[in-house]
A and B are shown apart, each in its own frame.
Chain A
Amino acid sequence: MFNYIVRRILVMIPTLIVISALVFIIIQLPPGDYFTTYMNELQSRGEKVDAAKLEFLKQQYGFDKPMIEQYFVWATGLLVGDFGYSFEFSRPVSEVVGDRLWLSFIVSFTTILFTWMVSFPIGVYSAVRQYSVGDYTLTFFGFLGLATPNFLLALILQWMAFSYFGTSIGGLMDPQYMDAAWSVDKMLSVLEHLWVPVLVIGTSGTAGMIRRLRANLLDELHKQYYITAKAKGLPPGKALIKYPLRMALNPFIADIGNLLPEVISGAAIVSIVLSLPTTGPMLLNALQSQDMYLAGSFLMFLATLTVIGTLISDLALAVLDPRIRIGGGAAK
């Protein structure tokens, strides 16, 4: 087990390195840089630009150095928590980002919890009562949830709340807590607002999860060991929980690896629609204004979150499933 954990964590390191290189390439790719764009903008407004000052700024931030060197400076900075400098805000990225990373994390984490809590009972129910009215109804809603893109769902919900109740469901806390320090009241306010984004982001993931759990459990229910268990007189509940449910649960955990990128993607766009103070809106902004280090750290953060989530799901799977534990993860 210990070996497995160590190996799994070691595999993560090259992945993260490649991801960081990729992120760096992506944020470097746009033609020109922030200063050139900025200068063009100023010029188009008819303002004068001091070329010497521009050169100085470029030198200051190492834009004149070769790519590789820039990457190393950036990547080693990441390790010690120095995310670079945001040009647009003229402040270090870590200051600009502030609570956003945490709030992003909270939203994603709660969404996953929500997905589990909702899809588990529903999935089990519709497998055990296959082809019942309840199963059909839930399957229909599941498909609808799967087909409705979450940002459109956010838009529709927001529109309904706006036109029927006259309130805005956007934001993640009451306005007075916006810049306040963290306190119990602020936490409560966040929790109060959290359900809308969680519901919106979680819908499609939940629908998918329900379908997978249902399919897996159905496969198990048709196997002979379950028939034997029932034949020897185990009460239905016990027969279900003791054997097939455990088998069907495996993919449930393994799926976090698939679910997490989906949730994080969803969170990014939904938070733009609902204007949540998470990473999404700021990432969009940073991408549009070529604020490269800001955009880079957000991308890096989101990717890291996914990688760590996958790691946790792999470890949880190893705890649950002796086959993976004993195999030492050699298969994967």
Chain B
Amino acid sequence: MTDAPIEHYVNKAEFNPESAVTLTPEQERYYMASQWRLMWWKLRRHRLAVISGIFLAAIYLSIVISEVLAPYNLHARNTRYLYSPPQSVHLFDDGKFVGPFVYGIKASLNLERLQWTYSEDTSDVQKIRYLCVGDDYKGASYLFWGLFPGSFHLFCPAKDGQLFLLGTDRLGRDVLSRIIYGARISLTIGLIGIAISFTMGLTIGGLAGYYGGFIDAVVQRIIEVIRSFPSLPLWMALSAILPVTWSPILVFAGITVILGMLDWPGLARAVRSKLLALREEDFCTAAELMGAKPSRIIGKHLLPSFMSHLIASATLSIPSMILGETALSFLGLGLRPPITSWGVLLNEAQNISVVALYPWLMYPVVPVICIVLAFQFFGDGLRDAADPYK
């Protein structure tokens, strides 16, 4: 114990009275960030949503180059291999490393059951080729986007060989290639449909919410009526209206419009309730006093304040459109061949006895479920990120 008095502590460092108000660079970055940037930061932390987002982006990119990704073109028929089961990929032949290859298919007619049976021909090793060019097997050439002839593939069977990784269908067409091509239609239907429903939802909900009164009452009733209809029977009825004489392309357009036209009430309702609340805000009155037109107030001042939320909910309703198209085509009321979507492919699996014999016809189910799941996760992540209170 010492008797010396405890020294009075004085911090020698220069005192900055503003230290409490100056922001660290991170804080400054956070405070200055725009709403979209904040959303992006939040979304990035949501790992499942990010993975789903990347998955979706990859799939959507893939539909641009479906022709290159699929080993066969959409309509290539291998008449010698009808309902051929999936070939499995091997690496070793007889204990020797060969690299990825498939065995050739031996077809024999089973006279008792009157159907073709297929078995692996282990003497026939067919190496899978990568980045191959050339029209040296059946179904190699294609028209890229229906315009430019080509025959470049990411991977393809050996010369004059077969490569049916997911089997073939009734007409001997490669199921895998058809699934890859089907993505093009199935996925764009969701996008176009949501574009239609988004525009309608914004316009109608915007009008109802901004003007209120009579317009609002009418819109509310319409929404109520549409929502009280079970959607699928209504879709069925409307797509049955499309004339049989229409070309498949027109039917595609018709189905998309039907799906989009019946989806807007949910969005319109969200827009309306947000607008009703926001139009009482001061910034809205200010804009009005400065003589802004309603369209400008809605579009420039009101919509941006809840756009992120809207986009998130729109993302969540894309899968229901994809499913709607799949269901309709599955029932035979939707798209018609030669337009190929996943639903059209599943249409072949409608008969249970066919499916029991050739279960690989059910493979298009897998991408449908994956896509819907991915949209669900991504949309959930987006919605959480768009919510400023979370």
A contacts, CB < 8 Å to B? 14-15, 18-19, 22, 26-27, 29-31, 143-144, 146-149, 151-152, 155-156, 158-159, 162-163, 168, 170, 260-262, 264-266, 268-269, 272-273, 283-284, 287-288, 290, 295, 298-299, 302-303, 306-307, 310
Report whether B372 and A268 are in contact in the complex, using a CB–CB cutoff of 8 Å: no
Q: Does B146 count as interface, using CB distance less than 8 angstroms?
A: no
Choose, from B34-42, B201-209, B226-234, the stretch at the interface.
B226-234
Q: Give the CA-CA distance A290 to B237 in the complex, in Å.
A: 10
Knowing A26-B237, A156-B362 are in contact, say whether A15-B225 is a contact too (CB < 8 A).
yes
Task: Count residues of chain B with CB under 8 A from any CB of chain A.
Answer: 40
Report whether A269 and B225 are in contact in the complex, using a CB–CB cutoff of 8 Å: no
Choose, from B72-80, B179-187, B323-331, the stretch at the interface.
B323-331
> Of B229, B237, B352, which one neighbours A158 at CB under 8 angstroms?
B352
Residues of A within 8 A of B136 (CB): none
Residues of A within 8 A of B221 (CB): 14-15, 18
The 8 A CB mask of B204-245 against A (1 = contact, 0 = none) is 000000000000000001001101111111101110110100
Q: Which of A29, A156, A264, A269 has the most CB of B within 10 A?
A: A269
Residues of A within 8 A of B365 (CB): 152, 155-156
Q: Does B154 count as interface, using CB distance less than 8 angstroms?
A: no
Report whether A22 and B233 are in contact in the complex, using a CB–CB cutoff of 8 Å: no
Q: Does B368 count as interface, using CB distance less than 8 angstroms?
A: yes
Closest Cβ neighbor of B319 among chain A residues: A147
Q: Give the Cβ gap from B48 to chain A, nearest Cβ, in Å.
A: 10
> Of A29, A284, A310, which one neighbours B236 at CB under 8 angstroms?
A284
Report whether B225 and A18 are in contact in the complex, using a CB–CB cutoff of 8 Å: yes
> Of A147, A158, A299, which one neighbours B369 at CB under 8 angstroms?
A147
Closest Cβ neighbor of A23 among chain B residues: B237
Report whether B237 and A287 are in contact in the complex, using a CB–CB cutoff of 8 Å: yes
> Of A159, A264, A265, A287, which one neighbours B333 at CB under 8 angstroms?
A287
Knowing A26-B238, A151-B327 are in contact, say whether A303-B355 is a contact too (CB < 8 A).
no
Q: Give the CA-CA distance A303 to B319 in the complex, in Å.
A: 24
* A to B CB contacts below 8 Å, 5 in the list: A162-B352, A168-B352, A269-B331, A287-B333, A290-B240
Q: Give the CA-CA distance A261 to B356 in the complex, in Å.
A: 32
Residues of B within 8 A of A162 (CB): 352-353, 355-356
Residues of A within 8 A of B333 (CB): 284, 287-288
Report whether A265 and B225 are in contact in the complex, using a CB–CB cutoff of 8 Å: no
B contacts, CB < 8 Å to A? 221, 224-225, 227-234, 236-238, 240-241, 243, 319, 323, 326-327, 330-331, 333, 346, 349-350, 352-353, 355-356, 359, 362, 365, 368-369, 372-373, 376-377
User: 3 nearest interchain CB pairs?
Assistant: A265-B232, A264-B230, A287-B240
Knowing A143-B373, A147-B372, A149-B326 are in contact, say whether A159-B228 is a contact too (CB < 8 A).
no
Residues of B within 8 A of A147 (CB): 319, 369, 372-373, 376
Closest Cβ neighbor of A161 among chain B residues: B352
Q: Give the Cβ gap from B226 to chain A, nearest Cβ, in Å.
A: 9
Chain A residues touching B, majority SS: helix
Q: Give the Cβ gap from B219 to chain A, nearest Cβ, in Å.
A: 13
Report whether B376 and A30 are in contact in the complex, using a CB–CB cutoff of 8 Å: no
Report whether B373 and A149 are in contact in the complex, using a CB–CB cutoff of 8 Å: no
Report whether B236 and A19 are in contact in the complex, using a CB–CB cutoff of 8 Å: no
Residues of B within 8 A of A148 (CB): 369, 372
Residues of A within 8 A of B237 (CB): 26-27, 287, 295, 299
Q: Give the Cβ gap from A254 to chain B, nearest Cβ, in Å.
A: 14
Report whether A310 and B230 are in contact in the complex, using a CB–CB cutoff of 8 Å: no
Report whether A30 and B229 are in contact in the complex, using a CB–CB cutoff of 8 Å: no
Report whether B376 and A143 are in contact in the complex, using a CB–CB cutoff of 8 Å: yes
Report whether A149 and B233 are in contact in the complex, using a CB–CB cutoff of 8 Å: no
Residues of B within 8 A of A265 (CB): 230-233
Report whether B230 and A269 are in contact in the complex, using a CB–CB cutoff of 8 Å: no
Q: Give the CA-CA distance A18 to B221 in the complex, in Å.
A: 9
> Of B327, B359, B369, which one neighbours A159 at CB under 8 angstroms?
B359
> Of B233, B236, B240, which one neighbours A264 at CB under 8 angstroms?
B233
Report whether A31 and B228 are in contact in the complex, using a CB–CB cutoff of 8 Å: no
Q: Give the CA-CA distance A262 to B365 in the complex, in Å.
A: 20
> Of A268, A288, A295, A310, which one neighbours B232 at CB under 8 angstroms?
A268
Q: Give the CA-CA distance A45 to B111 in the complex, in Å.
A: 35
Report whether B369 and A152 are in contact in the complex, using a CB–CB cutoff of 8 Å: yes
Report whether A283 and B236 are in contact in the complex, using a CB–CB cutoff of 8 Å: yes
Residues of B within 8 A of A31 (CB): 243
Residues of B within 8 A of A260 (CB): 230
Report whether A163 and B356 are in contact in the complex, using a CB–CB cutoff of 8 Å: yes
> Of A152, A262, A284, A299, which one neighbours B234 at CB under 8 angstroms?
A299
Closest Cβ neighbor of B322 among chain A residues: A149
Report whether A303 and B228 are in contact in the complex, using a CB–CB cutoff of 8 Å: yes
Known contacts A284-B236, A299-B233, A306-B228; 13 further A-B pairs (Cβ under 8 A): A15-B225, A30-B240, A31-B243, A143-B377, A144-B369, A149-B368, A151-B327, A152-B346, A162-B352, A268-B230, A272-B331, A284-B331, A302-B229
